[in-house]
Amino acid sequence: MKKLINAPDTVVTDALAGVAAAHPSLVVDVENKVILRAGGPRPGKVGLVSGGGSGHEPLHGGFVGYGMLDAACPGEVFTSPVPDQVLLATRAVSAGAGVLQVVKNYTGDVLNFQMAAELAGDEGIEVASVIVNDDVAVEDSLYTAGRRGVGATVLVEKIAGALAEEDADLTAVAAVAREVNDRSRSFGVALTSCTTPAAGKPTFELGGSEIELGIGIHGEPGRHRGPMRSARELAAVALDAIAADIPLDGELLVMVNGMGGTPLLELYVMYNEVASCIRARGGRIARNLVGNYITSLEMQGFSVTVCGLTDTLTRLWDAPVDTPALRWGR
């Protein structure tokens, strides 16, 4: 294993120390693994807390700042944070208007956030949760843990964060977060596996010309394996899967996301194919995002997220945001 680390045990805290050093706009509690906005919460504003395993950077810590999250709780690599972290973050961002948890639908994340919400509730903090579950690769049935939360998490955090910045109440912020989730779907493809520092070897093995279709973001294998094919064909596979679930017409927000080890050159090739595919199906990409926003360590691959916009969602997407990983309008 070749990685830019000091030791597998300290990779998360070493990275958090780096985040603290690089971003004076953030306050990082390295020991307890909580990232907060500097300056504390603004009275009367709903606090937004998210978190999850490390290894998906910039998610979630890179999205802490004006117009987006108030706090992020990074767990160990690919492991959800513990309730203590989430409780600390919830207390820190509580400013009298309640706290919204943005939780990706993984059993571990859901359980740990649920425990923290109960503890915070016992302390008199009003907590609402939105569970993000946009991954069309997983069948939402009695036979699975339900769809995974993937790319839509970025959109939910941006749009709910914008509404919270306008001093909307907790009910409204939670409602817009759920609306974004309901209107979004994602599909991911891996060209390579990834290696967690603690494991030291790839999570799964892929042959030289094999790819995994329908992956999540933790290096877990996908729904099926197939031969490598062109960007055009892969765009069609991803959008077919998404179109089976939501209409691809009207005004759309489209994110083409890299999994961590994909050159931007290739992501733009993918975006071009995704855009022509959507045009051919009658959709109009009103807003887009191309880059590495929710990653899986050094995995090569991409995910596509499509969200059906409304005028309100477009306005909130365009609202000013100032975080380490997403910044415009301010």
Partner 1 sequence: MDTAVFRAWIGSAAAVIEANRDHLTQLDAAIGDADHGINLARGFAAVTAALDGADGADGTAGSRPATPGAVLTLTGSTLISTVGGASGPLYGVAFRRAGKALGAAATVDLPLLGEALEAALAGVQQLGAAREGDKTMVDALAPATRAFGKAIGDGAATADALSALAEAAAAGAAATISMQARKGRASYLGPRSVGHEDPGAASTALILTALRDVVAR
Closer residue to partner 1, CB minimum distance, 118 or 166: 118
Amino acid identity, position 204: F
Choosing from 23, 60, 218, 224, which is the catalytic residue?
Answer: 218
Of 115 and 237, which CB lies nearer to partner 1 in the complex structure? Answer: 115
Least Å distance between CB 147 and partner 1? 9
Is 60 part of the annotated catalytic residue set? no
In the complex, least distance from residue 156 CB atom to partner 1, rounded to whole angstroms? 21
**224 given a catalytic annotation:** no
Shortest separation between residue 82's beta carbon and partner 1, angstroms = 5
Rounded CA gap, 8 and 201, in Å? 12
Per the residue annotation, which of 23, 56, 60, 224 is the catalytic one? 56
CB-based contact 153:257 (threshold 8 Å): no
Shortest reach from residue 289's CB to partner 1, in Å: 25
DSSP code at position 2:
-
Pair type for strands 301-308 and 184-190? antiparallel
Residue labelled with tokens 């706009």: 25
Rounded to whole angstroms, how far apart are CA atoms 296 and 257? Answer: 11
Can you give the three-state secondary structure of 56-96, one letter per residue?
CCCCCHHHECECCECEEEEEEECCCCCHHHHHHHHHHHCCC
With a CB cutoff of 8 Å and minimum separation 6, the contacts of 298 are 192, 194, 195, 260, 261
* Residues lying near partner 1 in the complex (CB under 8 A): 53, 75-84, 106-108, 111-112, 115, 137-139, 142-145, 148, 196, 198-199, 203-204, 216, 218-221, 223
Helix (H, G, I), strand (E, B) or coil at 222: coil
Burial class (CB in 10 A: 0-12, 13-18, 19+), 217: buried
The residue (of 12 and 155) whose beta carbon lies closer to partner 1 is 12
**Nearer of residues 118 and 249 to partner 1, judged by Cβ:** 118
What Rg, from alpha-carbon coordinates, does the chain have?
19
Minimum CB separation of residue 117 from partner 1 in Å reads: 12
Min dist. Cβ of residue 25 to partner 1 (A): 27
Six-digit token string for 100 = 């919204």
Q: SS3 of 265, please?
A: helix
Active site amino acids: 56, 218
